Structure 1
Amino acid sequence: MSIPTTEILIFDTSEAFRKDSSILRPALDIVSKADGVQMPVYVGVQIENPATGYMFLNWDSREHHQAAMAAPSYANLREILKSAVTSPGKMYHVIFNDHPIALKQPVTEVLLVTLKDPSHRAEVYDIFTKFTELSKKMLVFGPTLEDENVIALLGGWESVEAHQTMVANPEPKAAIERLFTLVNKDHLFHTALTTRE
């Protein structure tokens, strides 16, 4: 199976969504019928600040997602989402270096960075590859299709503490320090995702 195009949506959550994320079920019923979507959808709130929510959908291609957004049912979808989403949010599309298994872990790290200089891309990818090895392959990364200088990384962890323990070790700590001389950190938070079929 080919690696999907992963849609990442980061949004401000409503109080109703924070109390019960299943209010998205009618919207996800519409999405599940779209051509090219790969269910399940992963949904969660940020651990550090539950006012921020996440939705991850895997598509056969970005074009499938664009076709779904152009479909007549998309107007209904937008209306239904108003009960859960209180801002337009930010949307990214990424073809990761491997299948995004981090979404299936108890805690998912969401990191978005922007290269300070595109000439550092290979070194940043080398650092991320090292992190992948240290995380027992529970980490994936790739440039966003919207801007190749914005790179998304998803890490799968048993807990936030497990992530913090790993990055506190000397080797990853030195790599992280080097990384943040090469990139601007745009977003680094954690979420506990649930799946919606």
Structure 2
Amino acid sequence: MSETVVEIVNWLASEAFKSDPSILHPALKQVAAAKGASKIWYGLQHEDQSTVFVVIVWASLADHKLFIDDKAPYAELLAKLTPTLDASAGAIEFYHVAFKPNPIPEAHFNCPINEFGILTLKEGKTNAEIEELVWNPEFNDGGKVFDIGKIIERDNQYVLTKGWESVEAHHAARAYRSEQLSQFVTAAREIITPAVCHVKLTMFKS
């Protein structure tokens, strides 16, 4: 089993970041140089045009923990991030996802727009119920439809990611669901409550 995890980070963007997203690059360059860090994407949420998303692939959760525990460089990273944060923003939120079937859903992240869905188990529902549904290889065909992973830090939440040509294409697709997909969505909504947003991700190249 792969130890690869995908870290998803978000925070409320400053006006400076909205005007010039490249002010985030010094921080991303530092992360990219860390042991175990590989691919990085970043972008702004489509719906509110205010929430920054950063997606970082780590070879293992242990590699990211070592990076955080190195106090002086980590403090330097936080200082580099400060200009990108809205003054009223709360804490930076981050969590790690173990995606399946593709540990790195690169094909989705590289699409013009990416759908992120936080899937929260309904009361009384179990991890086994949702995992049996979403990781069914007969339906998802190796992650071509979407990739889903459990949030490591949260027992009751998963992340779905799917690439689209546009937000409009996603909305239009809802009207043309196959019978199989409609059955899947109906079954999933019996188990989870979804919260969906879209992000235009750009791969960071240091």
TM-score bracket, normalised by the shorter chain, equals: 0.7 to 0.9
C-alpha separation in 2, matches of 1:161 and 1:3 = 35
* Greater alpha carbon shift after TM alignment, 54-63 vs 163-172: 163-172
What is the Cα deviation at residue 130 of structure 1?
A: 6.6
Q: Which amino acid in 2 is paired with 1:73?
A: P
Normalising by structure 2, report the TM-score.
0.84
Match of 1:110 among 108, 116, 121: 116
* Greater alpha carbon shift after TM alignment, 175-184 vs 114-123: 114-123
Note the residue ranges of structure 1 that are not aligned, 5 or more in a row. none
Structure 1 partner of 2:140: 133
Match of 2:160 among 130, 153, 158: 153
Q: Which amino acid in 2 is paired with 1:179?
A: A
C-alpha spacing 1:127/1:29, structure 2 compared with 1 (3 Å): same
SS at match of 2:84: coil
Structure 2 partner of 1:29: 29
Does residue 187 of structure 2 align to residue 181 of structure 1? no
Would the aligned equivalents of 2:125 and 2:191 in 1 still touch at CA under 8 Å?
no
Q: Report how many aligned residue pairs link the two structures.
A: 195
C-alpha spacing 1:133/1:161, structure 2 compared with 1 (3 Å): farther
C-alpha separation in 1, matches of 2:92 and 2:36 = 23
Q: Which amino acid in 2 is paired with 1:121?
A: N
What is the Cα deviation at residue 129 of structure 1?
A: 4.2
Q: Which amino acid in 2 is paired with 1:184?
A: T
Normalising by structure 1, report the TM-score.
0.87
Structure 1 partner of 2:95: 92
What is the Cα deviation at residue 178 of structure 1?
A: 3.2
C-alpha spacing 1:15/1:173, structure 2 compared with 1 (3 Å): farther
Structure 2 partner of 1:63: 62
C-alpha separation in 1, matches of 2:7 and 2:16 = 23
SS at match of 1:95: strand
Note the residue ranges of structure 2 that are not aligned, 5 or more in a row. none
SS at match of 2:7: strand
Identity %: 30
